[in-house]
A and B are shown apart, each in its own frame.
Chain A
Amino acid sequence: MDTYLIPGLDGIAYGLLLAIAAAGLTLAFGAGGVLNLAHGTLIAAGGYVAATTSTGTWPSLAAAVTAATVVGAAGGGVLAAATARLRGRGHLDQALLTFGIALIGADLLTTVFGADIRRPRLPAALDTTLTIAGHPYPADRLAALTAAVIITTIGYAVLHRTRAGRLIRATVDDRHMVAGIGVNPRAVDTTVLVVSGALAGLAGALCTPILGVGPATAPTTLLLSLVIVVCGGLGSVPGAVVAAIGVGLVQTIGVITIPALAPYLLLSAMALLLLTRRRPLPGMPG
């Protein structure tokens, strides 16, 4: 059991970080039907910005996290403006547009930041190892886990306790009803894409000290986020959080248990879930 304690903790930390990233993606899909395939690029952009801004001091770390969030939000704004022009042309065109933007973004990021994997320099207090229940555990991972728990809690509170959050959830459930009470659902779509971008940038910044950021970050995180969004039920944030923790655990415990099948575990789990799911996904007949 002890063997799985640390990977399990890692899995939950990784899962919660992915949940932060995937929450925005699932809401953007649920509310406006926008499948944002540039989401992974926003996560990578956040990671790169954080890795280059943080220089080993606490103020620079705070600046790195803020800058990554702002860059993510700006990216979300660009995507909102770009996809808004395609309204009435169907969701596929929007998805293809974000795919094109993702390709451009990935190329620009590699050109600016190079093809090497980058990691930020952290303050000395985070660059040490702590002991948890007799096991050594890196302080930066614990900090990321704590930050992820705090952000998830705040996100839950905003989504369920504030008017803005309730409007977003209402748009996911019934766009026309939201329009009927005098709120423009398109404004909600734009807000969701900007917030989703900010969360992607933030998640990128929080992941970078642990995983580093490189050319593979965007496709990997996009794929994981999509798996989470599909498994969690499109548009559902609690579903995404549960699915993200599952994905995190499969990624960490699965790798040490059955290393040969590790790449297939996640996608096989998704396929199984889709085949056995009783409640149909949106876009699924019946």
Chain B
Amino acid sequence: MTARLPLPHRWDDLRRWVPWLLPLGAATTLAAASDGYWPATVARMLPLALLAVSVATVTGAAGLPTLGQVAPYAAGAYTTARLAMAGHTLAPVHLTAAALAGAFTAGLLGMLLVRHRGTVVLMLSLAVAELTTITATQWRTVSGGTDGLAGIPAPHLLPGTPPLTADRPVLLYATAVTVAATAATMLLLHRHHLLLTAVRGNETRAAASGHPVTTYLWLVHTGAGAIAGTAGALLIHTHRWITPADVGFDTAALALLAAVIGGTHSPPGAAVAAVLVLGVRDVAAADWPGHAPLLLGALFVAAVYLLPGGLTAALTRLRAEIRRVRATRRPEPLPAASRRTS
């Protein structure tokens, strides 16, 4: 006999899926409703959204604020570009290879970075971001120098399927990859939530309890590298060209800004914030060309002052405030003792 779940439980289950289905639904609607500019524009925002997920994971879950995730991002992007140019155009192969390249790069860098904490990591990761641009510019045989690589062949989802070139399928594909990678990140983080909170909250005690803290942080950094590498593959699949500027300091700054605005403890929030920031930047860039850094800087300052904890924390505060207002409006039930006396 199978027991039927009571309705509220099913509703809870459904509610858990809503945030993940929402972007997929939005992308499908956008792809169905318009052609050309908007699907292509949104698809091109998604690599940065996934990079922001990776940055938020390292910054929030591991507590290591970083600009250096642009290195595994570059590793994933150039691996994908070179594979495609060598004739291997299967998207799953690209994504796997890019994730591995990203994890390898982040693992290597992590050996140095996870030995430090707080602003020192930010300082060191700044050097990593700088080094990434220098390497991308100088390693001409891989990157094509400052001219970059153009005309990269489009990927195929499966052998025999047509290449992903049209804007609508590319948007759907990019959304699916972004949502799946973000969901996988959240699942892994959720599973080790308590451990990571302990490491961030009181590292000394966690270490004294026998937890190899630095190894945990290295694993998070390396795993986030795999996500950044996947984002790199997505960059090639949506843009089909790459220059060293695409994996430069500005990209690193944008990803960190998105993580700060979205809330470093919420990778999906960072992804949403990345799309918002890029949207604002593109709209502003049309009216005021050449002043993207000014706008980014202003957004940074505003986010730090006005959104402590990011959008996610602001939403939580708003929800708490609504609950408080509702509670004060509802008449308080009289205490049992006073009812007896009256």
Residues of A whose CB lies within 8 Å of any CB of B are 29, 33, 35, 37, 82, 85-86, 89, 91-93, 95-97, 99-108, 111, 219, 222-223, 226-227, 229-230, 234, 263-264, 267, 270-271, 274-275, 281-285
Known: A85-B305, A264-B131, A267-B131. A100 touches B300 (CB 8 A): yes
Residues of B whose CB lies within 8 Å of any CB of A are 65, 112, 115-124, 126-127, 130-131, 134, 138, 203-204, 207, 213-214, 249, 253, 256, 260, 291, 293-294, 296-301, 303-305, 308
Choose one: B120, B203, B204, B303; the contact of A281 (CB below 8 Å): B120
Known: A93-B304, A284-B117. A227 touches B293 (CB 8 A): no
Closest chain B CB from A175 CB (angstroms): 16
Docked complex Cα distance between A103 and B256 (Å): 13
A-B contact pairs, 7 of them (CB 8 A): A86-B304, A96-B303, A96-B304, A104-B297, A107-B297, A281-B120, A283-B121
Choose one: B130, B260, B294, B301; the contact of A219 (CB below 8 Å): B130
Q: Give the chain B neighbours of A101 by CB distance below 8 A.
A: 297, 301
Known: A223-B130, A283-B117. A102 touches B297 (CB 8 A): yes
**A261: nearest chain-B partner, CB-CB:** B138
Having A97-B301, A103-B293, one finds 8 other A-B pairs with CB under 8 Å, namely A91-B119, A97-B304, A105-B297, A106-B297, A229-B123, A264-B134, A282-B120, A284-B120
**B134: nearest chain-A partner, CB-CB:** A263
State the main secondary structure of chain B at its contact with A: helix
Q: Give the chain B neighbours of A35 by CB distance below 8 A.
A: 119, 122-123
Closest chain A CB from B64 CB (angstroms): 10
Complex contact B123–A104 (CB within 8 A) = no
Q: Give the chain A neighbours of B123 by CB distance below 8 A.
A: 35, 226, 229-230
Known: A283-B117, A283-B119, A285-B214. A104 touches B124 (CB 8 A): no
Q: Give the chain A neighbours of B118 by CB distance below 8 A.
A: 91-92, 283
**A97: nearest chain-B partner, CB-CB:** B304
Q: Give the chain A neighbours of B120 by CB distance below 8 A.
A: 230, 234, 281-284
Known: A96-B300, A100-B299, A100-B301. A284 touches B293 (CB 8 A): no
**A102: nearest chain-B partner, CB-CB:** B297
Known: A230-B124, A285-B214. A274 touches B300 (CB 8 A): no
Q: Give the chain A neighbours of B260 by CB distance below 8 A.
A: 96
Docked complex Cα distance between A108 and B112 (Å): 35
Closest chain A CB from B180 CB (angstroms): 30
**A281: nearest chain-B partner, CB-CB:** B120
**A223: nearest chain-B partner, CB-CB:** B130
Closest chain B CB from A94 CB (angstroms): 8
Docked complex Cα distance between A35 and B29 (Å): 45
Q: Give the chain A neighbours of B121 by CB distance below 8 A.
A: 283
